[in-house]
Amino acid sequence: MNSVKKFYLFLVMLLAVLLFVPNFCSAADISVTDEESLKSAIQNANASSDATTITLSDSITISAPLPDVTKNVTINGNGFKISGNDQWYSTGGSGNQSIITSTAGTLTLKNIRLEHGPKQGAQAYGNGTLVLDGVTISDCKYSGLIANGGIIEIKNLNLNTTVGIEIGKSSTNNIEVTPTIIMNGVLKTTSQSLLYQDTKTPSALTIENKTGSADKLFVTEDSVFITDSNNAVIYKAKNYSNIDIENADMSEDKFATVTIHYTDKTMELVVTKNESLSKYDLSNVKNIDGQVFVHFVNSNNEIFSEDTPITDNIELTAIYKEEETPVENTQTSNTQKDETPKTGSSNYLVHALITVFILTLSIIVLKRKV
């Protein structure tokens, strides 16, 4: 009887272990080396209820778009790249031809390069979120990224494509999804057009600049700007898009540009309307070797105070004066004539001796007369 109980106890324990193992394996860090293992890893991650990390052990060349990501997945490139082969790059195809796409959940790309795509490097579609952290995208025919609805969060991104981010529309359950771009770090680009959409009907877009983000993104009717943490413009391109900024706090009427000419340089700031220049770091303008900053003047040559609220785009020029050079004290040369009055003790002794000599001579003369 005891042996039967032990047997049943063993079966119960074995069943518990078997039920536990699948959940444990679903959170594994999967290492991949080629196209097939990468596709398989994404499919397994989509079937898992837990977050999955896929790590590249080598650069991988693919012949078609990777499976859409529908769960929380991190792909750590480990410094390697995913690139399209020449045939796929040259022929492309209809529909989604991005190297990788997030349609649901969050796809995080880390420390990776995406190259040689027949359309885009990566896509956020519908309810998908795409996080870019240490990502470089180059040599993609259409654009580096596309936001078809979805959310793109930029933590550290380098875009080396003619078009940076394409803005599109998508719908989920017949509800149109507005794409969102979140700036939460650094964005570097060589793109001629950072934002683009090719439809005649304006596409809505939400832009969020996180507090503390190293770089920020601003869009006006004419231009697209990337600024640093001081709101100084580090990238500016013509706005070729037909985009409506959805969130009111980022609408064009909420901020203005300030162009400052100083020495032979120009600084451009994007500022919130009704703020003053005193809020911003202008040390690059004011601390010029050999020059003392005096004030700013506007285009009418009128003095512009740094405490004046800025209500519209404005152009200013910094005015300086030459820094005065202090006069150094120089010692008198030994060859120069010393014209300083002699008032020392040695001079008094000479005068005393002469006086004594004259008195003595006078006494001798008087005695002879007597």
The token pair at 35 is 């196209």
Cβ pair 65, 89 in contact under 8 A: no
User: What superfamily would CATH give domain 251-325?
Assistant: Listeria-Bacteroides repeat domain (2.60.40.4270)
Cβ pair 107, 129 in contact under 8 A: yes
Helices (H), the chain: 2-25, 35-46, 86-91, 283-286, 345-369
CB count within 10 Å of CB 26 equals 16
pTM (predicted TM-score): 0.79
Of 134, 128, 141, give the one whose Cα is nearest residue 98: 141
Q: What is the dihedral of CA 111, 116, 117, 123, to 10 degrees?
A: 20
The token pair at 340 is 């300083």
pLDDT in tens, 249-261: 888 889 999 999 9
Is pLDDT at 188 greater than 50 in this prediction? yes
Residue by residue, what is the 3-state secondary structure of 48-75? CCCCEEEEECCCEEECCCCCCECCCEEE
Distance in angstroms between the alpha carbons of the first and the last residue of the chain: 168
Average pLDDT of the residues of the chain = 85
Is pLDDT at 50 greater than 70 in this prediction? yes
pLDDT in tens, 278-319: 999 999 999 999 899 999 999 999 999 999 999 999 999 999
User: Is 2.70.98 the CATH number for 27-248?
Assistant: no
Q: How far apart are CA 249 and CA 271, in angstroms?
A: 13
Is pLDDT at 40 greater than 90 in this prediction? yes
Cβ pair 138, 111 in contact under 8 A: no
CA 360 from chain center: how many Å?
A: 98
Torsion over CA: 296, 299, 304, 309 (sign): negative
pLDDT attached to residue 168: 85
pLDDT attached to residue 139: 95
What type of residue is 202?
P
Bridge-based pairing state of the strands 60-62 and 255-262: unpaired
Confidence grade of residue 20 (pLDDT, cut at 50, 70, 90)? very low
For the chain, the helix, strand and coil percentages under 3-state DSSP, each to the nearest 5: 20, 45, 35
Domain positions in the chain are 27-248, 251-325
